[in-house]
Each structure stands twice: as structure tokens, then as C-alpha cells.
Amino acid sequence: MIRLEKRPQPSRIWTTITPLLAVLLTMLFGGIMFGLIGTPPLETIRTIFWDPLFHPQFAGFSRPQLLVKAGPLILIAIGLSIGFRAGIWNIGAEGQYIIGAICGAAAGLALYPMDSALILPLMILCGALGGWAWAMIPALLKVRFGTNEILVSLMLVYVAENILASVSSGLLRNPEGMGFPGSRNLSQWSSSQNLELVPNTGMHLGVVAAFIAVIAAYVLLTRHIEGFNIRLSGAAPRAARFAGVSPARTILFCLGLAGALAGAAGLFEVTGPAGQISIDFGSGYGFTAIIVAFLGRLHPVGILLAGLLMALTYIGGELAQLMLNVPAASIQLFQGMLLFFLLGVDVLTNYRVRIARREVA
């Protein structure tokens, strides 16, 4: 019989090994799954993990995509992870991402066609504020009425999606767009465009912001008292109150920060890769970022790596669909497996497995 024995303290080694183990298990069982549905397992795995970076023909196109996809995932996941560390479960980053994009885009479009270098910074600010304000709704409701932030933030995603549909065919619709839904193309207006900073790398301002966020979050969590208080609130809420940490302040700070980062991510996306506010602007980054945050063990550096890995499976997954006709659902299943195994092997960090004769508990 297999028994789990709680470790006196979390194992450092296992904390680092478990994500790698989860990736390997995903490859193994994903391979079996691909084999069962009749696609060549090794080739599929290679197409997902290897080809986007090193395929002689496709890599030139897909390599820059890695940073383009990873940027918003990392930026959003960093914000979420800080809340998760404090035990505040913001599930609605997708909504904050959409509202941030709408607010930032609206601020820019209000000034169209003015020509100024200040417009993009203003839009970034408004994007972050929009996301922040959207996240303040669950935050204030939680502080004031004790509502559950998981439910409120999640439901606000659907509200945000409807607002997005409404503004793309109404308020923000391109007046010169011949009636088609969708705003002006912000990536083609010199005042608002968020272009690649280095050609063919995918490195745009949002990616830079993501890297800065990684470093700032690392410093916050390891060196600053505010980060210490956040970790303390999550690890032992009563001890946090004893230490003098205000739960309300922590909630407002964590949700606000996550909202602002998600909103900024939305703005970078709408002014760059996406280009315009349109009905299908919401791409699920806000949800995938939750996976990224956990895959990275809520640690800034881990999230950086996890964001890149997740982006890789996205690009590789598309590539596999294109080249091997792998069904899209199986790619999603594959990504789901990754999270499943990660959470599954997580027990090993806090427990050691003992195989022993059955003993009365």
C-alpha cells in the first residue's frame, strides 16, 4: 500500500523537479494519446516542442511568435501569482485584459488622428487603469460584503466580453470601416503603434513590460515587506493579522495589481499583434495565464519559463494541427494534461511516498 507522509518542511529539490517531471509525464501520456488517435506520437511531440524553434522552414516565422504569445501570458500571470500567493483567487484576468484594451484603445482613438509621442504612454496608462478598475469591482465587493472573488471576477469576464462585442460594433467602430465591426487599426497609426523593437524577434513593448514585471515581482516577493506580507497572508492568514497586515489592504492591492497588469497586457496586444478592438479580441490569455502562474509555481522566474513553455505548446500545437492534421481538441487536452500532472506531482513537494505494509492509521 502506498502511503503519503508529510515532510517536516517542503522539499527544495522536489519544488524544482516537479515542473520538469510534469512536462515529461505530459509528453509520455500525450504521446500515448496521439498514438491512440492515429498520429505518429514522436513526430507530434517533436512538432510541438522542437519544430517551432528549430524547423528549417517554419522556425523563421514561429520563433518571434514565441515572445509575442509569451509576453501577455507572463505579464498577466505575474499579477495573478501575487494574488494567489496571498490566497486571493482572481480568475477574471481575461475580463480585466479586455476592459484594459478597450479603455486604452478608447483613450487613443479619442485623440485620433493627432500626432504625438505621448499618445501611446497615455494609452498604456489608461489600459492599466481600466484593468485596475475592473478588478476593483470584485475587490471592493469582497472587502465590503465578503463576496467570493472567484465567482465575481469570473462572471465579470462575461460582462467584459459583452461590452467588447458592443463597443466593437458601436462606440469604437471604425467610421471608415464600411460598417464592419471593429475599431481603427491601432498598429497602423503611428501614434499608437506598438511595434517590434528588434526586427524578427517578436519583442514589443509588452514583452519588455513582462520582463520588467518578472524582475519587479521577484524583488517585491523576496526583499520587500509588502511582498512578505502578501506571502504571509497566504501562508497563515491569522499570523498575518497578528503581524498587523490588513486583509482589506492586501485584497485591494493584489486584485488591483493583477487587474492593472492584465489591462496593460490587453493594451499592448490591441496596439500591436491584434491591431484593433474586434469582437474576437479576447483570446483566452487571461485564463491560460492561470495555468502559467501555477506551472511556474507562483515564482516570478518560474512564470517566465512557464510562459515561454506554454507559448511553445500553443505555437507547436497550431503547427501540429497544420502539418499533421492533429485535431484541435487533442491539443487542448494536451495542455490540460500539463496542468493536471503539475498539480498531481505537486504532492511530492510536501509529502514523501512510502510503500509499506498496511498499518492502522
Partner 1 sequence: MSDILLRLSGLTKAYPGVIANDDISFDIREGEIHALLGENGAGKSTLVKMIYGLVKPDRGEMTLQGKAYAPASPGQAREAGVAMVFQHFSLFDALDVAENVALGMEHPPRRRDLARRIRDVSEAYGLPLDPHRIVGTLSAGERQRVEIIRCLLQKPKLLIMDEPTSVLTPQEVEILFQTLRKLKTEGTAILYISHKLEEIRALCDHATILRLGKMVDTCTPSETTARAMAEMMIGSSFAAPSARRTTPGDVLLRVDNLTMPAPGAFGTPLRGIGFELRAGEVLGLGGVAGNGQDEVLAALSGERLSDTGTIWVKGADLSRQGPVARRAAGLLTAPEERLGHAAAPDMSLTENAVLTAGRRQRLIAKGFIKWSRAERFARDVIDRFDVRTPGPDVAARALSGGNLQKFVIGREVAQAPDILVVNQPTWGVDAAAAAAIRQALLDLAAQGAAILVISQDLDELMEVAQRFGALNEGRLSAVKPVDDLSLEEIGLMMGGAHDMEVAHADP
- Give me the residues that bind partner 1 (CB under 8 A), please: 8-10, 223-226, 228, 231-232, 235-236, 238-244, 246, 359-361
State the burial class of residue 142 (Cβ atoms within 10 Å of its Cβ: 0-12, 13-18, 19+): buried
In angstroms, what is the minimal distance from the CB of 39 to partner 1? 43
Q: How many CB atoms lie within 10 A of CB 177?
A: 13
| Helix, strand or coil, per DSSP, at residue 59 | helix
Tell me the C-alpha distance between 79 and 74, whole Å.
9
Exposed/middle/buried for residue 128 (C-beta within 10 Å: 0-12, 13-18, 19+):
buried
Q: C-beta of 359: minimal distance to partner 1 in Å? A: 6
CA pair distance 209, 77, nearest whole angstrom: 13
How many Cα atoms within 13 Å fall on the side-chain side of residue 214?
Answer: 22
Assess whether the previous peptide bond of 19 is cis (omega < 30° from 0).
no
Find, among 152, 127, 59, 149, the residue nearest to 277 by Cα: 127
Cβ contact 78:245 at 8 Å: no
Q: Which grid coordinates belong to 111? A: 485623440
| 284 secondary structure, DSSP code | S
Cα–Cα separations (whole angstroms), residue 170 to 12, 127, 139, 220? 54, 19, 29, 41
β pairing state of 351-355 and 2-6 = antiparallel
Lookup result for grid cell 493583477? 258
User: Cell numbers of 10, please?
Assistant: 517542503
